[in-house]
Structure 1
Amino acid sequence: MPPRRRAARLSSRPYSSAAAAEQWPRGWLAVRHNRPSKRARRVPTKIAQGDEDGTPLTDEILVGIFAGLPDFSDLIRCAATCRRWCRLVSGEAAFICRAARRRPRGPSSLLCSLALGFFYSHCHGAVPRFAPTASASRRLGLRQPSLNALVEGLDDGLFDASRLITSRNGLLVVELQHRERERALKLCVCNPMTGEVTVLPPLGGKQIVSPFACAVLTADDYSNDDDSHASDPPSSPSSSYYVLLLYGRRGFMACRTYASDGGRWGPEAKVGNAVRLGKKAMASMAGTAVAVRNKVVYWHAKSILFGLRLDTLQAEHVDMPMSGHDPAGNTLVGVSPDGRLRVVRVIEPHSLVTRKKRVAICVVNRSATGDEWEPRDEVIEVVGRFLPAETTWIKLRWICEKSGVVFFTAGCDDQRSDVYAMSLDKQEAEKVASHHGGSGGGGGSDSSPSWENLVGYEMDRTSYLSSLAMDDDDP
Structure 2
Amino acid sequence: MAKSKRRAVDAAGVLSDDLMREIFARVAWGVLDLVRCAGTCTRWFRLISCPAFLRRVGISSENACHRSSFLLGAFYIPEATPIKIPKLGKRRKSHLPPRFFKLSTEQTRGERLTFTKFIPNKNGIFNYARPLAAHRGLLLVERLTHDWQKLHLAVCHPLIGERSTRLLAPPPQDLDPINVGYYMTGYAIVTASNHVQPTFQVHFTIECYDDKLVYVFSYSSAMDSWSAPIKCFQTFGLTRCGPRAGMVNSDIVHWLYRGNTNFCTLNISADATHVSLTKIPIQVKRGLSPPFPCILGEGKLSFVNVRDKDILELWTKREQDNDHSWEGKEGWVHSELMPLEVKGIEILYFAESSCVIFMLQKECPSIFALNLVSKKMEHVIEEDGNMSMFYSYVGYEKWRDQSHVLYELDWPSYLFHLSARSHEVQ
Q: Which one-letter code corresponds to 1:433 in the other structure?
A: I
Matched, 1:394 2:337: no
Q: Which one-letter code corresponds to 2:117 in the other structure?
A: A
Q: Which one-letter code corresponds to 2:409 in the other structure?
A: M
- Residues in 2 aligned to 1:187 and 1:84: alpha-carbon distance in whole angstroms: 34
Q: How many matched pairs?
A: 336
CA deviations 1:148-180 (Å, max 9, x no partner) are: 43333633x43332323222222222212221x
Q: Which one-letter code corresponds to 1:400 in the other structure?
A: A
User: Identity over aligned residues, as a percent?
Assistant: 18
TM score, norm. by length of structure 1: 0.58
Q: Which of 62, 69, 76 is residue 120 of structure 1 equivalent to?
A: 76
What SS is found at the alignment partner of 1:462? helix
- The corresponding residue for 2:335 is 378
CA deviations 1:438-473 (Å, max 9, x no partner) are: 9999xxxxx97354422222122326779xxxxxxx
Q: Which of 91, 103, 112 is residue 133 of structure 1 equivalent to?
A: 103
Confirm or deny: 8 A CA contact 1:175 1:186 kept in the other structure: yes
Cα 1:382–1:433, aligned 2, differ >3 Å: closer, same or farther? farther
Confirm or deny: 8 A CA contact 1:406 1:423 kept in the other structure: yes
Deviation, structure 1 residue 192: 2.1
- The corresponding residue for 2:192 is 219
Structure with higher strand content: 2
Cα 1:257–1:326, aligned 2, differ >3 Å: closer, same or farther? closer
- The corresponding residue for 1:194 is 160
- Residues in 2 aligned to 1:431 and 1:451: alpha-carbon distance in whole angstroms: 20
Matched, 1:210 2:183: yes
- Residues in 2 aligned to 1:435 and 1:120: alpha-carbon distance in whole angstroms: 18
TM score, norm. by length of structure 2: 0.64
Deviation, structure 1 residue 184: 1.3
Q: Which one-letter code corresponds to 1:200 in the other structure?
A: L
What SS is found at the alignment partner of 2:170? coil
- Residues in 2 aligned to 1:84 and 1:122: alpha-carbon distance in whole angstroms: 37
- The corresponding residue for 1:166 is 133
Q: Which one-letter code corresponds to 1:116 in the other structure?
A: L
In structure 2, runs of 5+ residues without a counterpart are 19-37, 50-63, 82-95, 177-181, 322-326, 392-396, 417-426
Confirm or deny: 8 A CA contact 1:148 1:159 kept in the other structure: no
Equivalent positions of 1:80-119 (< 5 A) are: 87=45, 109-110=65-66, 114-119=70-75
CA deviations 1:162-214 (Å, max 9, x no partner) are: 323222222222212221x5421111222222223332212365368422321
Confirm or deny: 8 A CA contact 1:115 1:405 kept in the other structure: no
Cα 1:326–1:347, aligned 2, differ >3 Å: closer, same or farther? farther
- Residues in 1 aligned to 2:68 and 2:284: alpha-carbon distance in whole angstroms: 29
Confirm or deny: 8 A CA contact 1:398 1:406 kept in the other structure: yes
Q: Which one-letter code corresponds to 1:426 in the other structure?
A: S
CA deviations 1:294-326 (Å, max 9, x no partner) are: 3x3211123321112346733222223237999
Q: Which one-letter code corresponds to 1:160 in the other structure?
A: N
Q: Which of 216, 219, 230 is residue 255 of structure 1 equivalent to?
A: 216
Confirm or deny: 8 A CA contact 1:360 1:383 kept in the other structure: yes
Cα 1:149–1:120, aligned 2, differ >3 Å: closer, same or farther? same
Cα 1:132–1:85, aligned 2, differ >3 Å: closer, same or farther? same
Segment of structure 1 superposing worse, 401-410 or 429-438: 429-438
Equivalent positions of 1:234-383 (< 5 A) are: 236-237=196-197, 239-249=198-208, 251=211, 253-262=214-223, 264-271=224-231, 274-276=234-236, 281-282=239-240, 284=241, 286-294=243-251, 296-302=252-258, 303-310=263-270, 313-322=273-282, 328-348=288-308, 357=309, 359-368=310-319, 370=321, 371-373=327-329, 374=331, 376-381=333-338, 383=340
- Residues in 2 aligned to 1:402 and 1:289: alpha-carbon distance in whole angstroms: 17
Tell me: higher relative CO, structure 1 or 2? Use CA pairs within 8 A at least 6 residues apart: 1
Deviation, structure 1 residue 360: 2.9
What SS is found at the alignment partner of 2:117? helix
Q: Which one-letter code corresponds to 2:236 in the other structure?
A: R
Deviation, structure 1 residue 277: 5.9
- The corresponding residue for 1:456 is 406
Cα 1:298–1:153, aligned 2, differ >3 Å: closer, same or farther? closer
Q: Which of 420, 431, 435 is residue 379 of structure 2 equivalent to?
A: 431
- Residues in 1 aligned to 2:265 and 2:281: alpha-carbon distance in whole angstroms: 10
Equivalent positions of 1:5-16 (< 5 A) are: none
Confirm or deny: 8 A CA contact 1:121 1:450 kept in the other structure: no
- Residues in 1 aligned to 2:170 and 2:338: alpha-carbon distance in whole angstroms: 45
What SS is found at the alignment partner of 1:421? strand
Q: Which of 143, 147, 170 is residue 176 of structure 1 equivalent to?
A: 143
- Residues in 1 aligned to 2:231 and 2:256: alpha-carbon distance in whole angstroms: 17
Q: Which of 149, 152, 155 is residue 120 of structure 2 equivalent to?
A: 152
CA deviations 1:72-104 (Å, max 9, x no partner) are: xxxxxxx9xxx987745979xxxxxxxxxxxxx
Cα 1:321–1:110, aligned 2, differ >3 Å: closer, same or farther? farther
